[in-house]
Amino acid sequence: MDLQLIGMQLLSGAVLGAVLVMTALGFTIIFGMLGVVNFAHGALFMVGAYAGVMVAMQTGSFWFALLVAPIAVGAIGLLIERFLIRPLYSRPPDDPILLTFGLGYVLVEGVRIVFGNDGIPFSTPSALVGVVNLGIGYFPIYRLFVIGVVALILVLLWLGLEKTRFGLIVRAGARDPQIMRVLGVDMRRLWFLVFGLGIGLTALGGVLAAPMRNVSPEMGSIVLAEAFVVTVIGGLGSIAGAVVAGILVGLVVSMTSLFAPEMATISMFALMALVLLIRPQGLFGRASI
Protein backbone atom coordinates (compact mmCIF):
# COMPACT_ATOMS: atom_id res chain seq x y z
CA MET A 1 0.00 0.00 0.00
CA ASP A 2 1.34 3.44 -1.00
CA LEU A 3 2.26 5.46 2.09
CA GLN A 4 1.23 8.66 0.33
CA LEU A 5 -2.23 7.20 -0.27
CA ILE A 6 -2.49 6.28 3.40
CA GLY A 7 -1.41 9.80 4.36
CA MET A 8 -4.08 11.36 2.12
CA GLN A 9 -6.69 9.00 3.52
CA LEU A 10 -5.73 10.00 7.05
CA LEU A 11 -6.20 13.64 6.06
CA SER A 12 -9.61 12.79 4.63
CA GLY A 13 -10.40 11.09 7.91
CA ALA A 14 -9.36 14.22 9.80
CA VAL A 15 -11.79 16.28 7.68
CA LEU A 16 -14.60 13.80 8.35
CA GLY A 17 -13.65 13.86 12.01
CA ALA A 18 -13.84 17.67 12.06
CA VAL A 19 -17.37 17.55 10.66
CA LEU A 20 -18.30 14.86 13.20
CA VAL A 21 -16.92 17.01 16.00
CA MET A 22 -19.16 19.89 14.93
CA THR A 23 -22.19 17.60 14.71
CA ALA A 24 -21.53 16.13 18.17
CA LEU A 25 -20.58 19.33 20.03
CA GLY A 26 -24.09 20.75 20.12
CA PHE A 27 -25.54 17.36 21.07
CA THR A 28 -23.01 16.99 23.89
CA ILE A 29 -23.33 20.54 25.25
CA ILE A 30 -27.12 20.31 25.46
CA PHE A 31 -27.05 16.92 27.15
CA GLY A 32 -24.20 17.82 29.50
CA MET A 33 -25.91 20.99 30.72
CA LEU A 34 -29.65 20.34 30.38
CA GLY A 35 -29.75 16.54 30.51
CA VAL A 36 -31.84 16.58 27.34
CA VAL A 37 -31.15 14.03 24.58
CA ASN A 38 -32.03 16.13 21.55
CA PHE A 39 -33.32 13.79 18.84
CA ALA A 40 -34.10 16.81 16.62
CA HIS A 41 -30.35 17.36 16.37
CA GLY A 42 -29.98 15.91 12.88
CA ALA A 43 -32.99 17.84 11.58
CA LEU A 44 -31.56 21.11 12.93
CA PHE A 45 -28.22 20.28 11.27
CA MET A 46 -30.17 19.93 8.02
CA VAL A 47 -32.00 23.21 8.65
CA GLY A 48 -28.61 24.87 9.16
CA ALA A 49 -27.42 23.55 5.79
CA TYR A 50 -30.58 24.82 4.05
CA ALA A 51 -30.30 28.18 5.82
CA GLY A 52 -26.72 28.47 4.59
CA VAL A 53 -27.79 27.67 1.03
CA MET A 54 -30.60 30.23 1.11
CA VAL A 55 -28.46 33.02 2.58
CA ALA A 56 -25.68 32.31 0.09
CA MET A 57 -28.14 32.35 -2.82
CA GLN A 58 -29.72 35.62 -1.69
CA THR A 59 -26.49 37.46 -0.88
CA GLY A 60 -24.02 35.71 -3.16
CA SER A 61 -21.66 35.33 -0.20
CA PHE A 62 -20.69 32.05 1.42
CA TRP A 63 -18.95 33.99 4.18
CA PHE A 64 -22.13 35.84 5.09
CA ALA A 65 -24.00 32.52 5.13
CA LEU A 66 -21.35 31.03 7.41
CA LEU A 67 -22.03 33.82 9.91
CA VAL A 68 -25.78 34.43 9.58
CA ALA A 69 -27.17 30.87 9.20
CA PRO A 70 -25.88 29.56 12.59
CA ILE A 71 -27.17 32.68 14.35
CA ALA A 72 -30.60 32.36 12.72
CA VAL A 73 -30.93 28.65 13.50
CA GLY A 74 -29.56 29.26 17.00
CA ALA A 75 -32.40 31.77 17.48
CA ILE A 76 -34.84 29.03 16.44
CA GLY A 77 -33.19 26.86 19.07
CA LEU A 78 -33.90 29.53 21.69
CA LEU A 79 -37.59 29.44 20.78
CA ILE A 80 -37.61 25.63 20.93
CA GLU A 81 -36.12 25.68 24.42
CA ARG A 82 -38.44 28.42 25.68
CA PHE A 83 -41.74 27.08 24.41
CA LEU A 84 -41.21 23.33 23.95
CA ILE A 85 -38.37 22.04 26.12
CA ARG A 86 -38.71 24.24 29.22
CA PRO A 87 -42.18 23.00 30.25
CA LEU A 88 -40.79 19.44 30.32
CA TYR A 89 -37.84 19.93 32.71
CA SER A 90 -39.82 18.70 35.71
CA ARG A 91 -41.24 15.71 33.85
CA PRO A 92 -39.68 12.26 33.16
CA PRO A 93 -36.66 12.30 30.80
CA ASP A 94 -38.60 10.30 28.22
CA ASP A 95 -40.85 13.29 27.51
CA PRO A 96 -38.14 15.59 26.01
CA ILE A 97 -36.85 12.64 23.98
CA LEU A 98 -40.28 11.97 22.49
CA LEU A 99 -40.88 15.68 21.88
CA THR A 100 -37.57 16.25 20.08
CA PHE A 101 -38.04 13.02 18.12
CA GLY A 102 -41.38 14.30 16.86
CA LEU A 103 -39.98 17.79 16.29
CA GLY A 104 -37.33 16.31 14.02
CA TYR A 105 -40.01 14.79 11.82
CA VAL A 106 -41.92 18.08 11.73
CA LEU A 107 -38.80 19.98 10.61
CA VAL A 108 -37.99 17.43 7.91
CA GLU A 109 -41.52 17.46 6.52
CA GLY A 110 -41.59 21.26 6.65
CA VAL A 111 -38.42 21.44 4.57
CA ARG A 112 -39.90 18.92 2.12
CA ILE A 113 -42.99 21.10 1.69
CA VAL A 114 -40.94 24.25 1.06
CA PHE A 115 -38.00 22.90 -0.95
CA GLY A 116 -39.17 19.50 -2.22
CA ASN A 117 -37.50 16.11 -1.93
CA ASP A 118 -34.67 16.78 -4.36
CA GLY A 119 -31.35 17.92 -2.99
CA ILE A 120 -29.95 21.41 -3.53
CA PRO A 121 -26.33 21.76 -4.70
CA PHE A 122 -24.14 24.10 -2.69
CA SER A 123 -21.01 25.05 -4.60
CA THR A 124 -17.68 25.51 -2.88
CA PRO A 125 -16.89 29.24 -2.54
CA SER A 126 -14.63 30.46 -5.33
CA ALA A 127 -11.89 31.53 -2.92
CA LEU A 128 -11.60 27.96 -1.64
CA VAL A 129 -11.85 26.08 -4.95
CA GLY A 130 -8.84 24.03 -5.99
CA VAL A 131 -6.20 21.86 -4.40
CA VAL A 132 -2.92 22.42 -2.64
CA ASN A 133 0.21 20.30 -2.73
CA LEU A 134 0.96 18.99 0.76
CA GLY A 135 4.03 17.02 -0.27
CA ILE A 136 2.21 13.70 -0.03
CA GLY A 137 -0.37 14.62 -2.63
CA TYR A 138 -2.90 17.24 -3.64
CA PHE A 139 -5.69 17.98 -1.22
CA PRO A 140 -8.81 20.16 -1.63
CA ILE A 141 -8.39 23.63 -0.12
CA TYR A 142 -11.96 23.70 1.19
CA ARG A 143 -11.44 20.57 3.28
CA LEU A 144 -8.38 22.13 4.91
CA PHE A 145 -10.51 25.22 5.54
CA VAL A 146 -13.08 23.04 7.35
CA ILE A 147 -10.36 21.66 9.64
CA GLY A 148 -9.18 25.21 10.36
CA VAL A 149 -12.66 26.53 11.16
CA VAL A 150 -13.44 23.63 13.50
CA ALA A 151 -10.08 24.11 15.25
CA LEU A 152 -10.86 27.83 15.69
CA ILE A 153 -14.33 27.06 17.08
CA LEU A 154 -12.84 24.60 19.56
CA VAL A 155 -10.29 27.19 20.76
CA LEU A 156 -13.00 29.85 21.15
CA LEU A 157 -15.26 27.40 22.97
CA TRP A 158 -12.45 26.40 25.33
CA LEU A 159 -11.62 30.05 26.06
CA GLY A 160 -15.29 30.82 26.63
CA LEU A 161 -15.78 27.93 29.05
CA GLU A 162 -12.45 28.18 30.87
CA LYS A 163 -11.60 31.89 30.92
CA THR A 164 -14.90 33.73 31.29
CA ARG A 165 -17.41 34.19 34.10
CA PHE A 166 -20.17 32.78 31.91
CA GLY A 167 -18.08 29.66 31.27
CA LEU A 168 -17.47 29.25 35.00
CA ILE A 169 -21.22 29.43 35.67
CA VAL A 170 -21.93 26.92 32.89
CA ARG A 171 -19.40 24.43 34.24
CA ALA A 172 -20.62 24.85 37.80
CA GLY A 173 -24.24 24.57 36.69
CA ALA A 174 -23.54 21.35 34.85
CA ARG A 175 -21.95 19.91 37.98
CA ASP A 176 -24.48 21.07 40.62
CA PRO A 177 -27.44 23.16 39.40
CA GLN A 178 -29.08 23.11 42.84
CA ILE A 179 -26.16 24.92 44.46
CA MET A 180 -26.15 27.49 41.65
CA ARG A 181 -29.84 28.20 42.31
CA VAL A 182 -29.05 28.73 46.00
CA LEU A 183 -26.34 31.21 44.96
CA GLY A 184 -28.91 33.18 42.99
CA VAL A 185 -28.09 32.06 39.43
CA ASP A 186 -31.09 31.96 37.11
CA MET A 187 -30.64 28.43 35.78
CA ARG A 188 -33.56 28.67 33.35
CA ARG A 189 -31.91 31.63 31.64
CA LEU A 190 -28.61 29.76 31.57
CA TRP A 191 -30.22 26.66 30.04
CA PHE A 192 -31.94 28.93 27.51
CA LEU A 193 -28.59 30.36 26.34
CA VAL A 194 -26.79 27.01 26.37
CA PHE A 195 -29.51 25.37 24.25
CA GLY A 196 -29.25 28.19 21.70
CA LEU A 197 -25.46 27.84 21.64
CA GLY A 198 -25.69 24.09 21.08
CA ILE A 199 -28.14 24.51 18.19
CA GLY A 200 -26.02 27.29 16.67
CA LEU A 201 -22.96 25.02 16.66
CA THR A 202 -25.03 22.28 15.04
CA ALA A 203 -26.18 24.67 12.33
CA LEU A 204 -22.60 25.81 11.71
CA GLY A 205 -21.67 22.17 11.14
CA GLY A 206 -24.49 21.97 8.58
CA VAL A 207 -23.20 25.01 6.67
CA LEU A 208 -19.63 23.69 6.66
CA ALA A 209 -20.75 20.25 5.47
CA ALA A 210 -23.09 21.58 2.76
CA PRO A 211 -20.47 21.93 -0.02
CA MET A 212 -19.24 18.39 0.70
CA ARG A 213 -22.63 16.69 1.06
CA ASN A 214 -25.85 16.82 -0.88
CA VAL A 215 -28.17 19.25 0.92
CA SER A 216 -31.42 17.30 1.21
CA PRO A 217 -34.17 16.73 3.78
CA GLU A 218 -32.74 13.27 4.56
CA MET A 219 -29.20 14.41 5.40
CA GLY A 220 -30.10 14.91 9.06
CA SER A 221 -30.94 11.26 9.74
CA ILE A 222 -27.37 10.21 8.97
CA VAL A 223 -25.97 13.07 11.05
CA LEU A 224 -28.11 12.14 14.07
CA ALA A 225 -26.68 8.61 14.04
CA GLU A 226 -23.13 9.95 13.67
CA ALA A 227 -23.57 12.49 16.48
CA PHE A 228 -25.03 9.85 18.78
CA VAL A 229 -22.18 7.42 18.09
CA VAL A 230 -19.53 10.09 18.68
CA THR A 231 -21.22 11.28 21.87
CA VAL A 232 -21.50 7.76 23.28
CA ILE A 233 -17.88 6.91 22.44
CA GLY A 234 -16.57 10.16 23.92
CA GLY A 235 -18.80 9.97 27.00
CA LEU A 236 -22.19 11.58 27.48
CA GLY A 237 -21.81 15.26 28.33
CA SER A 238 -18.03 15.42 27.77
CA ILE A 239 -16.87 18.09 25.31
CA ALA A 240 -13.32 16.74 25.30
CA GLY A 241 -14.75 13.29 24.65
CA ALA A 242 -16.77 14.58 21.69
CA VAL A 243 -13.63 16.09 20.14
CA VAL A 244 -11.45 13.00 20.61
CA ALA A 245 -14.21 10.60 19.57
CA GLY A 246 -15.10 12.65 16.50
CA ILE A 247 -11.55 12.58 15.18
CA LEU A 248 -11.17 8.90 16.09
CA VAL A 249 -14.39 7.91 14.32
CA GLY A 250 -13.43 9.95 11.27
CA LEU A 251 -10.07 8.21 11.01
CA VAL A 252 -11.57 4.76 11.54
CA VAL A 253 -14.26 5.26 8.90
CA SER A 254 -11.77 6.75 6.42
CA MET A 255 -9.22 3.96 6.79
CA THR A 256 -11.93 1.29 6.69
CA SER A 257 -13.24 2.76 3.43
CA LEU A 258 -9.73 2.37 2.00
CA PHE A 259 -9.21 -1.27 2.95
CA ALA A 260 -12.81 -2.55 3.14
CA PRO A 261 -15.24 0.01 1.62
CA GLU A 262 -18.29 -2.16 2.24
CA MET A 263 -17.56 -2.02 6.00
CA ALA A 264 -17.07 1.76 6.24
CA THR A 265 -20.49 2.60 7.64
CA ILE A 266 -20.51 -0.34 10.03
CA SER A 267 -17.05 0.49 11.39
CA MET A 268 -18.24 3.40 13.56
CA PHE A 269 -20.86 1.23 15.24
CA ALA A 270 -18.31 -1.54 15.74
CA LEU A 271 -15.99 1.00 17.36
CA MET A 272 -18.81 2.16 19.63
CA ALA A 273 -19.57 -1.43 20.68
CA LEU A 274 -15.89 -2.07 21.41
CA VAL A 275 -15.54 1.08 23.54
CA LEU A 276 -18.71 0.29 25.49
CA LEU A 277 -17.50 -3.24 26.22
CA ILE A 278 -14.24 -1.92 27.61
CA ARG A 279 -15.46 1.35 29.15
CA PRO A 280 -19.27 1.56 29.40
CA GLN A 281 -19.28 5.28 30.30
CA GLY A 282 -17.27 6.19 27.20
CA LEU A 283 -13.72 7.47 26.90
CA PHE A 284 -14.21 10.62 29.00
CA GLY A 285 -17.63 10.01 30.55
CA ARG A 286 -18.54 9.63 34.20
CA ALA A 287 -19.90 6.30 35.38
CA SER A 288 -22.83 8.05 37.12
CA ILE A 289 -24.07 9.40 33.76
pTM of the model: 0.92
Interval 204-263: pLDDT, tens: 999 999 999 889 999 998 888 988 999 999 998 888 999 999 999 999 999 999 889 989
Give residue 2's pLDDT.
79
Is residue 109 pLDDT above 70, yes or no?
yes
Largest CA distance in the chain: 62
What confidence tier does 13 reach under pLDDT thresholds 50, 70, 90? very high
- Rounded mean pLDDT of 111-135? 91
User: 250: how many CB neighbours lie within 10 A of its CB?
Assistant: 24
User: 28: how many CB neighbours lie within 10 A of its CB?
Assistant: 28
What angle in degrees, to the nearest 10, is found between the helix axes of 62-80 and 41-59? 140
Give residue 289's pLDDT.
54
Interval 14-51: pLDDT, tens: 999 999 999 899 999 998 888 888 999 999 999 999 99
Region of residue 193 (left: phi > 0; alpha: psi -120 to 50; beta: else): alpha
The domain locations on the chain are 22-217
User: 4: how many CB neighbours lie within 10 A of its CB?
Assistant: 12
CA–CA separation, 173 and 190 (whole Å): 8
CA–CA separation, 122 and 238 (whole Å): 32
- DSSP state string for 246-268: HHHHHHHHHHHHHH-GGGHHHHH
Encoded amino acid at 127, one letter? A
Give residue 241's pLDDT.
93
Encoded amino acid at 85, one letter? I
Could you tell me if 172 and 33 are in contact, meaning their C-beta atoms sit under 8 angstroms apart?
no
CA dihedral 96, 226, 206, 118 (to 10 degrees): -100
277 contact partners, CB below 8 Å, separation of at least 6: none
Interval 54-107: pLDDT, tens: 999 999 999 999 999 999 999 999 999 999 999 998 888 889 999 999 999 999
